[in-house]
Structures are given as structure tokens and as C-alpha cells.
Chain A
Amino acid sequence: MSAETQAPAAETSNGAVAVARAAVVSWKAPIAFGVFALLALVLFVLNPRAEAETGFRLSTGRDFIQIPDLIVPAFVTGVIVTIALFAIALWSAILVRQRRKTPLWVVIVFAVLFMVGFLAWAAAGETVPVPGLLIGTVSLSVPLIFGAMAGVISERGGVVNIAIEGQLLSGAFTSALIASVTNNPYLGLLGAAIAGLLVSFVLGAFAVKYFVDQIIVGVVLNVLVIGLTSFLYSKVLQADAATLNSPERFARIDIPVLSGIPIIGPVLFSQTIIVYVMYVAVAVIAFALFKTRWGLRLRSVGEHPTAADTVGINVAATRFWNVSLGGAIAGFGGAYFTLGSVGAFQKEMTAGMGFIALAAVIFGKWHPVKATLAALLFGFATNLKNVLGVIGSPVPSEFMLMLPYIVTVFAVAGLVGVSRAPAADGKPYIKS
């Protein structure tokens, strides 16, 4: 059916551009800006904190160049930020009146300003460790980013990968077990990738070969992996945790020179091997998806499988092996839980990260780099909750717990424009 309607749809859009532009202009951006500006007014200006000053720590102890802490007056900062936020909201409203879109950088500036104001208010009397906040962001984002890469590859090929959660978890479990037994974290990484691969084999086989509903297979796989790893954890790993669940963690590797740069250095260039692999993976996928034969064919089976078939591309095989590749990547990312951060496997330790990764895929419009940025945003929201929990904030901790998920909902609800999925995403290709 889609093939039938595609051509005329394209025709119409081409024609309609000439006819008239947008009778419907979205008021989403100015309304959202307005709400947040009001929130800023209520919190920062009408409810000022007793403490007068807020510190921002900009260096870690190990930095080559030490920058002194930045101390700002909490109330004045709040007032300035609030005024700026209202100004942006107003400008955005004017843009909409003129039937123009709010550019993305305005959204980013708004978000950063709000964050500065919020931190100045919430951490009044304390010092916000900015590098710590960002380092934690990267840490928490690593599995999200690997998961998002798995999702991008799989969905670009037309298979919805709900099983990212299961792939991450199987990777975490397997890497802990293998790294502990062999005393070699590299073998643990390999095992994690294979575990993710095996989970995605099941997804691929059912979704691509047997046309089973992809969402259902994915959900069932998640439940299966959670059950299986929890069972093995209780019955096997815990029985002999010293030999089976105490993997050697990867050490941080400082990249010479780069790791000495203030703020950025410790955040990006003093990380474990898994994170460096992640940088390479994102770059390679972003390039390969759009510039290589592999990427062209993968996208073609996700957009219009019949067209791919008629030029001799094996749709089923392309989908199956790319879902598998995605699974291996997600499994690899799962190893970060055990070999990169925590140092041991725990029950359900992925805690829904696979689903947030899926949200990052959508928020990132199925683009590897944008999905990575989205994952970083979610990671930041999670870590902000942690950091404010430590320094103590006036916002109830229950609200802070909601933060990452609220960010996810707002992001996916399309604040940054409509996402357009690959046309055949989630649709099995059944040859008649």
C-alpha cells in the first residue's frame, strides 16, 4: 500500500510548496519556553534561597591547569536568567507570529540558561562540581549510546528493536561471568558482544524469517533475559561471588595532552577503553550509514524493501545480519555496567536503560550522532538527579527521580520537531 501512495504524496508535497506555506504553525516552542520561564520566575525570583552564593567548581584535582571555583550571587543570577528566559520565549512567540520556526540553537541556549539558573538556585550555599556532573553524564550515557547505536542500525533496516534492554542485560551478565572466570576483561567484552548477538538472533529469526510482530518478540525477549539472568545470578553467581562475579574492571586511560584540557579533558579523555571504543563506533556508524554500500543497502531495506528486492538486494538477510550487528553492539555496551562502572553484576542492573536508548533513537531522528546527543541529554538528567541528591537540594528527591523520564517524555513528544521514521520500520517484508 505504501508504494502505491508514495508517488502521489511526493507529488502533492512538491506542488503544495508552491501553493502556500503553512497555515498551521506550531506554538509548541513558545508555549514550552513560557512554561519554563514562569517556573524560573516562581523558583528563582519569588522563592529565593536563604544562602547568598553558589559555587561552580570547574577543575578536578588532577587537572594540568587549575581554574578557581566560580562563585556567583544566587539571587541575582536567578533574576538575570529569568529575564533572559522570558526574552527568549517572547522572541520565539514573535517568530511564530511571523510564521517562522524557532531555530534549534535557541532551544539549546534556553536549556543551558535554565540549567545555570536552576543550579545557582538549587545549590545555593554549596558548590556544584561541574566536571563531576559531566563525567557522570558520560558514564551514565555509555550504555545508552551503545543501545542507541543498536537501535539506529536495526531500525534503519526496518526492524524495531525493543530488545535493546535484554541485549544490554545479557551483555552485562556475560561479561561479568567471563571476565571473572578468565580474569581477562577483554574476553569479557567479547563474551558480552556474543551474548547480545545471540539475543538478537532470536529477534531476527522471529521478526525477519517468521514475520512475528517485532514489538511482541522484543518485549518477550526482554522478559526472558531479565528472568534468566536473575535466576542465574541468584543460583550461580551469588553462590560463589568471589570467583564468578568479581570481574577486574578496566582502568581509566589518560590520553596524553588531551586529558589535561580543563573541564573537557577529564570528561572525555580520561575514560576506559569501552568509552574510547564508543567514540570510534559512533563515528564509524555515522560515516558508514550514509557513505558506504553497507549503509545505502541497509537504509534501502528499511525505507522500501520491495524496491531493494527488485534491484537484487536480499532483504531478509540484510535485515537479519544488521539486527544481529546491532545486538552485538548493545551487548558490548552492556559490558560497561560490569566492567566499566559497577564492577559486578546485579539483578536487573540495566534498569530500563534499553528503553531510554530507544527513546534516544527516536529523539535523535534515527541519526547516529543526534541519537548520541539525545543519549547524553538523558544521561545528564540522570546524573543531575544524583549530584543534587548528594549536595542536597530544596526539590524533593522524588521529583528529582522523575527528571530523566520527564526529559524523555518531553523530548520524544516532539519538542524539537517531527521525527520521521524509516518508512518500513517495524513492517515485515513478506514476498507474495
Chain B
Amino acid sequence: MASPFPHSRCACTRSGRRDAAPRLLVNTRTALLPPPRIGNMKLELRGITKRFGALVANDHISLTVEPGEIHCLLGENGAGKSTLMNVLYGLYQADEGEVLLDGEVQHFSGPGDAMAAGIGMVHQHFMLIPVFTVAENVMLGHEATKTGGVLDLDAAREQVREISARFGFHVDPDALVETLPVGVQQRVEIIKALSRDAKVLVFDEPTAVLTPQETDELMAIMRQLRDAGTSIVFITHKLREVREVADRITVIRLGKVVGEASPEASTTELASMMVGRAVDLSVDKEPPRLGEPVLVVDGLSVADATGQVHVDDVSFEVRAGEVLAIAGVQGNGQTELTEALLGLQPHVKGSITLDGREIVKRGVRKILDAGVGFVPEDRTEDGLVAEFTIAENLMLNRSTGEPFVRFGNLQLGFRDDFAREKTKEFDIRAQGIDSLAGRLSGGNQQKVVLARELSRDLRLLVAAQPTRGLDVGSIEFVHSRIIQTRDAGIPVIVVSTELDEVSALADRIAVMYRGKIVGIVPGDTPREVLGLMMAGETPAGAGEAA
């Protein structure tokens, strides 16, 4: 690579984060000019029903999106929003109901049909090919060609430049997608949809991977697109975003439309519509009763096998009775840091002491025995064995000795009693302790993981993304258990990309950016400050709380 920042001239790379504010102005200014009309289209969904076996993911959902409006589809994780949009996009076939565009019934047998009809989608997990350039990604599927099927890359580059200029995106058509920051990748997705003359644009949970500033920029882009005549469907479960950008809101719960809400509705109103009961979004907690530092991390660096440094000279300490939240946009070294704490990373420099004893290079088994509890960020991959039962999963890290194992034999009776007790205590809803973990809902899976970790004698709990993808009820449960653990005098490290969660739980917040800790600030630091720190800016007076 010639330069460490191949696209550093592009104002939207992370290195150019400081340009964020002025660039927003530019965006607004272009929006003031009469924008080119992209086209108008009215989208109607009538009685869409989609079943997966016994599960009814969408139950007679009807929805109308008028031309040039931002229509929010609000619902909890698992409410059926993404299923509905996949039906609209032709990825799933509806069992009942129909999709109408400008009053005409459509039959989509695949995404190709939906795109041809003018529907574009910005997927939650970007549908971009990392090793292709921006231009190649944009042209894929509707390639302009010269004779003999030879790609007309110049035409594709020109198209990227044109759309990019129209909306002030600053995307280099020849950049490899994998080298682009996430926010820019999302713009490539938008360009991809617009290059196919999308008149209805669906954003599926688009803010999950963005910093607060990038989220603001995305909102500006959405408004700009709306003003140009595009109809926008914005799928989310984040109330703040809905209230900021929506023209209309449709709330769905358990696969059904619960009703429409006005963007003026308060957060609590929206939340109770979404969940079906009153929700208390704050977490009750007493001020921390701080004890001695239990975990001390000093000059920790983590590299991978290719020499990439993911955690760069990080130092912090966690004291008994406090929650230290590690905030930051996904992929800034949090995963590697938590894995290093557990001894899962091979290339580690620096020191980690637990109760004054060095645990670097001690091996996972010894670190677990030293009292580190770990809730991994990907519970289905790393937290559980999906093909094992609940009872087996609950003893997964206790297979080395008494009381679960005696003379090499599993103590099945003891294991099952233990499992019954824990399913009760943690309210794990399943047919029985013999249910396979893979069949449980996300919330119940996470409860199994928590039950396993919290039932040992812990000296430290590390919880990575503990509520990702969970419904509100499970989130409340997980949060209350984390606070209980803290109040029992056990230090807790919570890694989260959700600022709401960070603010709710943390006594102190460490913000990570590109492998470094930008600063450690008190738990009540305002979102705006945290947002800037997540983009790499050192806050004034940082480190005071450290």
C-alpha cells in the first residue's frame, strides 16, 4: 500500500473526521438547490403474511409509503421488520398478501425483479464484495459492457462520480471496498441502489455500525434523498433516530402492525408501543462502592498473525464494585482486547494483572480458574455449543473437576439438578434442560451464558456486547444482573457499541478508537462528547476519571 491512508483526500474517511461539521453544511447547501427529481413511487404492502414453520414472522402486515416521505418501521429485534423487507425485496416469497407499486400488483421472484421495479435496499450487513472496487460493486449485476462482454469500467466510474457528486458523498470509484471506513461503505450501498434508479429505498438498521456523527450524516443524506423525491423506508429499533428523521412511523410487534405513531410522540410512548407495556429505559443503580483495583492492564498491545496491531498500548484499571464500559464503534480493537483478557489472543505484549497476579500467557483454563467470567460478543458462535443441551452448556467451562466431574465421569445427576436450579433462577424459558441451546431465542441463549458465568466464584466479569440483538425484556434482565454483579463487589467490564447501554451501565467509560483508548471519562459524560471521542478526538480534561 503506497500510503497508509489511500483515500485520505476523501473528507469522509476517519482521518477526515474533523471535517464532519463543515461538510454537513455543504450537504445542506446542496440540498437547498432544487435537487434533481429521482422519481416518485408509492409503495403499498397489503396483508403480507410470512410463516417459517410454526412461526408467523409477518401476520397480515399492511403499510403504505407515500412518495417522498421517510417512513419508519419501528420494532424490537425479532419483531419481523427484516422479514417484511426481504419479502418486499424479493428475497422471500410471501405466503399471503401483495406488494403494490403505484397501485399495480407486483410479483417478485427474486431481488432482480424488485430492483427492476425500482426498489433499492441498503442492507444491515453490507452486500458489498470487499475485494472489489467501488465501481465494480456498483456495476455488479447490471454491468455496462463493450463488445464481447468486456466491462466498461469507465462508464461505471463515471456513474459513481456523478451520483457521488450529486449527494456530496466523496467516494473514490477505484477504492477497494475493504479499505473504506464503514460509513463510506454504506454510501457505496446507497450509490449502488441509486445507480439502478431506485425510487423506493429501504434502509435496514443502517445505524448499527455507525458513530453518532456518521449517524447524523446518514440522517442528512436520507432527508436529501427524500427531498429529491425518493420514498424511504427506515427500519430501526432506535427511538431517538425515529423521532429525528421520520415523517411517519409504523410500529410492529411480534409480526403485527400495532399502529401508527407521530414523530412528535415521546420516547416513552414509542417504547411502550414497541414493547407492548410501559418500559423503564433507565437502569436503577446506586452510586458505586469502590474497592481496591482488581484488574490492572498496563501497556497492553495485541497483534494478529499478520502483524496488524489491533490493540495498541492500552492501560487502565478496574476497581471492585464498578462497571467500566468500553465504548467505540465496532472493530476498533474491543474484540481483541476482551479476548486478550481471557487469554484467547496469541500475540500479546504488556501486562494484565488480576488481584496482583500476572495473567498474560497463563492460558485460558488458568485465567478462568482465577475467576474471570466471560460473556462473548457472539453468543451463538463463541458463547454456546448450539448442538448441546442447556444442561451441557451450563457446565461447559467446569468440565475439569468436581463437582461436575468425578474420576473422569460426568456427574449427570448433579449437572441436571444444577441446570434446573439455574434455569429457574435466570428465568430461562425452554421446554426443559434437555432443549438444544441452538433452538432458544437470543434472550434465553444469553441467559444461559450469564447463568454459567455468574454461577462461578468470579473476581471479574467481562461482558462483550451483552445485549446485542436482544428484545427489551431480555435487555432489562441482563442489565439488572450486571448491576447486581457490580453491587456484589465484582468489577465488571462491559463492551458496547450502543451509547444508550454504555450510559445506562457505566460508572466510567473508556472509549476505544483504532486500538487505542482515547480517554477514560465519567459515566455521565454527554453523548456528544462520547461521539467525538468515538471518532478519535481526545476530550478536554480526559483522563481525570482514570
Residues of A within 8 A of B (CB): 1, 3-4, 6-25, 288, 291-294, 296-297, 299-300, 303-304, 306-314, 418, 423, 431
Pairwise interchain contact B514-A312, C-beta atoms closer than 8 A = no
Q: A16, A300, A423 — which one has the most chain B CB atoms within 10 A of its CB? A: A16
Pairwise interchain contact B180-A16, C-beta atoms closer than 8 A = no
Out of B89, B148, B515, which one reaches A292, CB within 8 Å?
Answer: B148
Pairwise interchain contact A8-B145, C-beta atoms closer than 8 A = no
Neighbouring A residues of B131 by C-beta, 8 Å: 299, 303, 423
Give the distance to chain B from A76, nearest Cβ to Cβ, in Å: 42
Pairwise interchain contact B332-A310, C-beta atoms closer than 8 A = no
Neighbouring A residues of B35 by C-beta, 8 Å: none
- Given A7-B182, A18-B4, A24-B303, also A303-B130 (CB < 8 A): yes
A–B complex contacts, Cβ < 8 Å, 26 sampled:
A3-B125, A6-B130, A8-B182, A10-B179, A10-B180, A13-B178, A16-B308, A17-B308, A19-B514, A19-B516, A20-B309, A292-B145, A292-B150, A303-B132, A307-B127, A308-B129, A309-B91, A310-B89, A310-B123, A310-B127, A311-B142, A311-B192, A312-B112, A313-B140, A423-B130, A431-B91
Given A13-B178, A293-B151, A312-B113, 17 additional A-B pairs, CB 8 A: A3-B126, A7-B331, A11-B331, A12-B308, A12-B331, A12-B515, A14-B181, A15-B514, A18-B514, A19-B514, A23-B347, A292-B151, A293-B149, A299-B132, A303-B131, A311-B127, A313-B112
Residues of B within 8 A of A (CB): 1, 4-5, 14-15, 89, 91, 110-113, 115-116, 121, 123, 125-132, 136, 139-143, 145, 148-151, 177-182, 185, 192, 209, 301, 303, 305-310, 312, 329-333, 335, 347, 349, 378, 381, 513-516
Neighbouring A residues of B305 by C-beta, 8 Å: 24
Neighbouring A residues of B335 by C-beta, 8 Å: 8
Pairwise interchain contact A10-B130, C-beta atoms closer than 8 A = yes
Neighbouring A residues of B115 by C-beta, 8 Å: 311-312
Neighbouring B residues of A6 by C-beta, 8 Å: 125-126, 130, 178
- Given A10-B179, A13-B178, A310-B121, also A291-B151 (CB < 8 A): yes
Q: How many CB-defined contacts (below 8 Å) exist between A and B?
A: 173
Pairwise interchain contact B132-A13, C-beta atoms closer than 8 A = no
Neighbouring B residues of A306 by C-beta, 8 Å: 127
Give the distance to chain A from B244, nearest Cβ to Cβ, in Å: 24
- Given A7-B182, A312-B111, also A303-B140 (CB < 8 A): no
Neighbouring B residues of A7 by C-beta, 8 Å: 125-126, 182, 185, 209, 330-331
Closest to A2 in B: B125
Pairwise interchain contact A300-B111, C-beta atoms closer than 8 A = no
Complex Cα spacing A323 to B33, Å? 52
Out of B113, B142, B148, B303, which one reaches A23, CB within 8 Å?
Answer: B303
Neighbouring A residues of B14 by C-beta, 8 Å: 14-15
Neighbouring A residues of B145 by C-beta, 8 Å: 292-293
Give the distance to chain B from A292, nearest Cβ to Cβ, in Å: 5
Q: A14, A22, A300, A307 — which one has the most chain B CB atoms within 10 A of its CB? A: A14
Complex Cα spacing A73 to B123, Å? 69
Closest to B89 in A: A310
Complex Cα spacing A309 to B121, Å? 13
Pairwise interchain contact A308-B125, C-beta atoms closer than 8 A = no
Pairwise interchain contact B130-A8, C-beta atoms closer than 8 A = no
Out of B1, B140, B332, which one reaches A15, CB within 8 Å?
Answer: B332
Out of A3, A18, A312, which one reaches B141, CB within 8 Å?
Answer: A312
Closest to A26 in B: B307
- Given A303-B132, A304-B127, A423-B130, also A310-B4 (CB < 8 A): no
Give the distance to chain B from A7, nearest Cβ to Cβ, in Å: 5
The 9 lowest CB-CB distance pairs between A and B, nearest first, are A312-B112, A8-B331, A311-B141, A22-B307, A11-B331, A15-B514, A307-B127, A3-B125, A24-B307
Pairwise interchain contact B111-A310, C-beta atoms closer than 8 A = yes
Neighbouring A residues of B306 by C-beta, 8 Å: 22, 24, 418
Pairwise interchain contact B140-A297, C-beta atoms closer than 8 A = yes
Complex Cα spacing A294 to B186, Å? 26
Out of B130, B150, B332, which one reaches A304, CB within 8 Å?
Answer: B130
Pairwise interchain contact A16-B128, C-beta atoms closer than 8 A = no
- Given A4-B125, A14-B181, also A311-B149 (CB < 8 A): no
Neighbouring B residues of A19 by C-beta, 8 Å: 309, 312, 514-516
Closest to A290 in B: B151
Out of A17, A297, A311, which one reaches B4, CB within 8 Å?
Answer: A17
Give the distance to chain B from A6, nearest Cβ to Cβ, in Å: 6
Pairwise interchain contact A12-B310, C-beta atoms closer than 8 A = yes
Complex Cα spacing A4 to B378, Å? 10
Give the distance to chain B from A25, nearest Cβ to Cβ, in Å: 7
Give the distance to chain B from A325, nearest Cβ to Cβ, in Å: 14
Neighbouring B residues of A303 by C-beta, 8 Å: 129-132
Closest to B347 in A: A24
Neighbouring A residues of B178 by C-beta, 8 Å: 6, 9-10, 13
Out of A14, A23, A307, which one reaches B301, CB within 8 Å?
Answer: A23
- Given A10-B130, A310-B123, A418-B306, also A292-B112 (CB < 8 A): no
Pairwise interchain contact B177-A10, C-beta atoms closer than 8 A = yes
Neighbouring A residues of B149 by C-beta, 8 Å: 288, 292-294
Pairwise interchain contact A300-B309, C-beta atoms closer than 8 A = no
Complex Cα spacing A244 to B243, Å? 80
Closest to B329 in A: A11
Give the distance to chain B from A18, nearest Cβ to Cβ, in Å: 5
Give the distance to chain A from B131, nearest Cβ to Cβ, in Å: 6
Complex Cα spacing A11 to B125, Å? 14
Pairwise interchain contact B303-A12, C-beta atoms closer than 8 A = no
Give the distance to chain A from B18, nearest Cβ to Cβ, in Å: 15
Neighbouring A residues of B1 by C-beta, 8 Å: 17
Neighbouring B residues of A10 by C-beta, 8 Å: 130, 177-180, 182, 185, 331
Pairwise interchain contact A307-B128, C-beta atoms closer than 8 A = yes
- Given A21-B307, A307-B129, A310-B121, also A293-B143 (CB < 8 A): yes
Complex Cα spacing A328 to B150, Å? 23
Complex Cα spacing A303 to B128, Å? 10
Closest to B92 in A: A432
- Given A311-B142, A312-B112, also A23-B309 (CB < 8 A): yes
